[in-house]
Chains A and B, each alone.
Chain A
Amino acid sequence: MNAGALITDESVALLEAIDLRKSFGPTPALDGAGLRMHAGEVVAVMGPSGSGKSTLLHCLAGILQPDSGQVLYRGAELSAMSDGVRSELRRTEFGFVFQFGQLVPELTSLENVALPLRLGGMRRKEAESRATEWLERLEVADVAAKRPGETSGGQGQRVAVARALVTGPKVVFADEPTGALDSLNGERVMQLLVAAAKDTNAAVVLVTHEPRVAAYSDREVVVRDGKSREVELAR
């Protein structure tokens, strides 16, 4: 199976997790968690520290394999895919933004954004041209030649968002994307992330414990003790 053999029917959920269970040694992280989301949706996964929300995100993204349960992406089960196919999915269909950006410190901002395209085989010139467009869109074109260590936290996160979106992903996984930023920078990063995702009709899984950040989502799921629960929003 490859990433191209996925169901494109709009009625089918883009990403669905069913009864996920995952333990790290004797410690259970997920205990029957579930989630369902459609294209273009922004879903906030909330919960206290250690509740299992990051583990849920990693299972949804195919980074971690659940001990039991299913993760379906456009109808196809992730655990049935080979590592190569899951890598291809992460490169072409998914994008990632983490608390500390998870940028490669040796590469410049431009090279970091172009990295997923280069890994997919795109030529350097074309990859960097598209990366430049995204850096401009995220308002960080001025740090294109700088390495992550030479930029501010807010700039680094915006570069990370650009890298997450440069491949035109269907789902963006954001794990505490503003956790290391001040409120002003955090607000700006969220505005840009959500706006760009809406523009490209990408779904966003937003793991956060901050209500201010969760307010950018369409709906919220709370994870507590490894179990998930949908929250009615009064917006």
Chain B
Amino acid sequence: MHTFFSWQRDLALGVRLAAGGGRRGWIRLGLTALGIGFAVGVLLIGASVPTIVAGQSARGMAQSASTVVLPGVDPLYFRNSALDDYRGVRLTGYWVSPSGPSSPKPPGVDKLPGAGEAVVSPALADLLASEAGAALRPRFPNGVIGVIADNGLKGPAEYRFYVGTPDHGTIDQGWNPVYSFGDIDAVHEVVPAVWLLAVVGLVALLFPVLVFVSTSTRLAGAARDRRLAALRLVGGSARQVRRIATGEALLGTVVGLFVGAVLFLLGRGFVEQIDLFGVSAFAADVLPVPALVGVIVVAVPALAVVSSLIAMRRTAVEPLGVVRLGRPARRRLWWRLVPVVIGLALLLSQGGASGAMRTDVLVAGVCTFLLGVPLLLPWLLERTVVHLVGGATSWQLAIRRMQLDSGTPARVVGGIAVVLAGGIALQSVIAGVGASVGAPMERAGLTGRSNVQLADVSVEDLEVWASRLRGLPAVRGVLPQTTLQVSDPGSGESTQLTIASCESLLARLPLGHCSDGDAFLVGSGWSPRPGQQVVVRSYSQSRSTAPWMLPISTASAVQIGSGTAAPQTPLFGVLATPGAFRGMTVPQGDMSIQVQLRDSDPASADQVANAVTALGWRAQVDDGGATTVSDQVRQFRTVRNAVLLGSGITLLLAGASLLVLAVEQVRERRRQLAVLAASGVPVRTLARSILWQNLVPVLIATAVAVLTGLVLGAFLLGVISRPVVFDWAGVVLLTSSAAALVLGVTAATLPTLRRASRPVELRAE
């Protein structure tokens, strides 16, 4: 019981000391709490990632349509809309056609839209209501009758819509009977490379945060040491002083936890406004996992206390430790290398030829390896600065200061070094994984052409619509065509048959001469001989066939020559003019109109798309603007972008931490600075001295970070058996960002420096 009360009393005294000291004490406490608060805020976001991912997965699952027949349910006919891109905004839309009153409704939809009506997500509703969405509004001719509720969306920035249609097509035309939504089998597998990137990204971004926590607790370390030494002199035992120091560290950390929670809650309010490359999250989904919150609440104060106790070990043992500062003992290297070796050993044990990969071992390996970075820095900085001599006054002041105490600046830049090392490792993993996942297809960009695919329309209709499109101001020319298949009835070999007018064919290929009734053979591979009997069939309706004899006059043509315009889809196989089928019924083919626009303005492409709106689902317009990437590539891109954004945020956090520590260092040395200024040392010399004190450690930290980052990246790529590829541009970008950060921090320190070097700071009482 006595021990308990001793603890209580000493901790309370520590809290009293942390909160005391008037304005300066409060500023110190505030800075510590802010530093820890930032870190805790980021940790809480990290702790919310599993909930966000689970939320996205559950919402994705709820959106999935199931075609498993349910008795008594009228199926909802369901088809993807071709409208998947509007001026760079990714859209997800569906045509829906209920077959009865019990047709299922997609999640978040109260009432199924009638013919031409639409139900849209709030983001799309906003876009449609805005000036920017003016050209999109005609695609929903009967207006928006409802808004999709949150439970029907993956995120608040999802542009989703359902458009009603009175009729529907066949399965071959992309229509499916849907009996329910919420297909549990629709879970998308995350590929190991993407998983590795996500895990390593999270670790590499969150680990530096812990370094910031430990540096934040060392704010005003010299003043704290003097204070605790005074306690030792009046009879405080080493144990008591440790407890008092624990109390001091705890107050800053506890306040920091609250600050972090407040920052997290404030940030959570803005989360719905963030559209991370097409992925967004509802604030309701951004909830830290309770177990991880528990870990943060325990680990952050524990880390703060431990690092605080380690920092004061000399003072605790020797009451005059800060009164008589002898030359500090030389740092040893061997134990600083231990985490690096253990980390590499753990990474080596994973993946490779065996293919085994345990996430926990991987995380431990990355953490242990990265831990080596801040441990190596003080040793390296000490060994470097001891050899630096001479130079200008500012340089001399900076170097002598670092020779006296290289630990503080090394700790200050430790966080930046870990961010850089983690960032560079991630860049390498991204480069290596990206090379094998497949280069993500970028948005093709508008090409000045549109391709209108028509389904379920007659040949006459094709000509009518081609004529309408030709009349649009933005259109230079139209090339209607019908695509079918011809095959050898004996061998079954087949190729494509394109039926188009001579005008269309001549516009696309250098055929020389063409008149109605002609046919041509283009390209390599199998093709029928002139005069051969073949079977013509539709691609989409394979049962509809007709026999046809290739005209004797069929000529060969060059596949893609110097036609006036290269086609979006190359022509090959058999090309025939309508006259070649005189007297026979040609099966319904896939019809399309290649539209040549006068320019590549998005408004021109919109004109074409809006002109065929009346055809409903039967017209699909592709203006080359939509991306066609696989789920795997999409996952990879999202994780890559999130990781790069995270690196930027963590680097900024490191900068904020560096700034707080740099300002505090200036404040702590204000008397010495005032003495220097009073002795005639210009403030700009002092400013340069501070720049060197920031820059030299950062340069060393950058060198260590580049080396360790590349090594870690190479090992991680080895874990997933990918080729070692380094993203040198990314390395340069990250390192130059760090250099810019140092310059920015030094500039931000100047006002404090000016105040600190005023003669008034010489006052002793």
B234 adjacent to A105 (CB under 8 Å): no
Contact of B233 among A83, A102, A118, A120 (CB under 8 A): A102
- In the complex, which residues of chain B have a beta carbon less than 8 angstroms from the beta carbon of A118? 9, 13
- In the complex, which residues of chain A have a beta carbon less than 8 angstroms from the beta carbon of B20? 106-107, 147
Within 8 Å of chain B (Cβ to Cβ): is A115? yes
Within 8 Å of chain B (Cβ to Cβ): is A49? no
Residue of A nearest to B20 (CB): A106
Bound CA–CA A120/B233 (angstroms): 13
A63 adjacent to B765 (CB under 8 Å): no
Given contacts A58-B320, A118-B9, A121-B9, contact A106 B237 (CB under 8 A): no
Contact of A149 among B237, B239, B326, B765 (CB under 8 A): B765
Given contacts A87-B236, A90-B233, A115-B234, contact A64 B227 (CB under 8 A): no
Within 8 Å of chain B (Cβ to Cβ): is A153? yes
* Contact surface of B with A, Cβ cutoff 8 Å: 5-6, 9, 13, 16-18, 20-22, 25, 223, 227, 230-240, 317, 319-320, 324, 326-327, 764-765
Residue of A nearest to B316 (CB): A83
Interface residues of A in 89-127 (CB under 8 A from B): 89-92, 94, 96, 98, 102-107, 111, 115-116, 118-121
Q: From residue A64, how far is it (CB to closest CB) to chain B in Å?
A: 7
Bound CA–CA A147/B21 (angstroms): 8
Given contacts A104-B227, A105-B227, A149-B765, contact A119 B326 (CB under 8 A): no
Within 8 Å of chain B (Cβ to Cβ): is A8? no
Within 8 Å of chain B (Cβ to Cβ): is A88? yes
Residue of B nearest to A153 (CB): B765
B17 adjacent to A153 (CB under 8 Å): no
A83 adjacent to B238 (CB under 8 Å): yes
A63 adjacent to B319 (CB under 8 Å): yes
- In the complex, which residues of chain A have a beta carbon less than 8 angstroms from the beta carbon of B13? 118
B16 adjacent to A106 (CB under 8 Å): yes
Q: From residue B160, how far is it (CB to closest CB) to chain A in Å?
A: 59
Residue of B nearest to A106 (CB): B20
- In the complex, which residues of chain A have a beta carbon less than 8 angstroms from the beta carbon of B320? 58, 63-64
Within 8 Å of chain B (Cβ to Cβ): is A191? no
* Contact surface of A with B, Cβ cutoff 8 Å: 24-25, 58, 63-64, 83-84, 87-92, 94, 96, 98, 102-107, 111, 115-116, 118-121, 147, 149, 151-153, 156, 163, 167, 180
Bound CA–CA A98/B239 (angstroms): 24
Residue of A nearest to B320 (CB): A63
Cβ-closest 9 pairs across A and B: A91-B235, A106-B20, A87-B237, A106-B21, A90-B235, A116-B234, A106-B17, A102-B230, A119-B236
Given contacts A63-B320, A180-B764, contact A115 B231 (CB under 8 A): yes
B235 adjacent to A116 (CB under 8 Å): yes
B235 adjacent to A104 (CB under 8 Å): no
Contact of B239 among A58, A84, A167 (CB under 8 A): A84
Q: A87-B237, A106-B227, A107-B17 are in contact. List 8 more A-B contacts (CB 8 A).
A: A90-B233, A90-B235, A94-B235, A107-B20, A119-B240, A121-B6, A147-B21, A152-B765
- In the complex, which residues of chain B have a beta carbon less than 8 angstroms from the beta carbon of A121? 5-6, 9
Bound CA–CA A115/B227 (angstroms): 12
- In the complex, which residues of chain B have a beta carbon less than 8 angstroms from the beta carbon of A167? 235
Q: From residue A106, how far is it (CB to closest CB) to chain B in Å?
A: 3
- In the complex, which residues of chain A have a beta carbon less than 8 angstroms from the beta carbon of B25? 106
Q: From residue A145, how far is it (CB to closest CB) to chain B in Å?
A: 12
Contact of A151 among B236, B238, B765 (CB under 8 A): B765
Residue of A nearest to B237 (CB): A87
Residue of B nearest to A155 (CB): B765
Q: From residue B236, how far is it (CB to closest CB) to chain A in Å?
A: 5
Bound CA–CA A118/B320 (angstroms): 22
Q: From residue A156, how far is it (CB to closest CB) to chain B in Å?
A: 8
Bound CA–CA A103/B227 (angstroms): 8
B237 adjacent to A88 (CB under 8 Å): yes
Bound CA–CA A119/B235 (angstroms): 7
Q: From residue A210, how far is it (CB to closest CB) to chain B in Å?
A: 19
Residue of B nearest to A98 (CB): B233
Bound CA–CA A33/B422 (angstroms): 58
Residue of B nearest to A29 (CB): B324
Interface centre among B18, B237, B324 (most CB of A within 10 A): B237
A63 adjacent to B233 (CB under 8 Å): yes
A24 adjacent to B324 (CB under 8 Å): yes
- In the complex, which residues of chain A have a beta carbon less than 8 angstroms from the beta carbon of B9? 118, 121
Bound CA–CA A214/B237 (angstroms): 32
B234 adjacent to A90 (CB under 8 Å): yes
- In the complex, which residues of chain B have a beta carbon less than 8 angstroms from the beta carbon of A106? 16-18, 20-21, 25, 227
Residue of A nearest to B229 (CB): A102
Q: From residue B659, how far is it (CB to closest CB) to chain A in Å?
A: 25
Given contacts A83-B237, A92-B235, A106-B227, contact A25 B327 (CB under 8 A): yes
- In the complex, which residues of chain A have a beta carbon less than 8 angstroms from the beta carbon of B317? 83
Q: From residue A81, how far is it (CB to closest CB) to chain B in Å?
A: 12
- In the complex, which residues of chain B have a beta carbon less than 8 angstroms from the beta carbon of A103? 230
Interface centre among A103, A115, A119 (most CB of B within 10 A): A119
